[in-house]
Amino acid sequence: MPNIKSSKKAVKVIAKKTENNHELKARIKNLIKNCEKAIAASDKETADSLYKDIQKNIDKAVSKGLVKSNTADRQKARLNLKVKNMK
């Protein structure tokens, strides 16, 4: 445990940032899973709305540096292809 006041605050700040980053990453993963379930169930409307949410959240994660831009582009492209090719 740190003894200096600024170090104590830094520990709190880091913990809060880590939690926020984890929440955003988990939200993205859950949205992707839900979108793929909607695709499997042939629910076009739900898949489209989830895909829009996924795009927004992935772009937010890229801007914060949580996800690399190439990884984000790949994830969005693969999901977009699946949504477009739905029956």
Instruction: List, for residues 1-54, the tens digit of each pLDDT value.
Output: 899 999 999 999 999 999 999 999 999 999 999 999 999 999 999 999 999 999
Instruction: List, for residues 63-80, the tens digit of each pLDDT value.
Output: 999 999 999 999 999 999
pLDDT attached to residue 1: 86
pTM of the model: 0.86
First to last CA, the chain: 57
Long-range contacts of 39-45 (CB under 8 A, 24+ apart): 39/82, 39/83, 39/86, 42/86, 42/87, 44/83, 44/86
State the residue for tokens 């445990």.
Answer: 1
Domains of the chain: 5-84 (1.20.58.110)
DSSP at 3 = -
Q: How far apart are CA 2 and CA 9, in angstroms?
A: 9
- Predicted confidence (pLDDT) at residue 87 exceeds the cutoff of 80: no
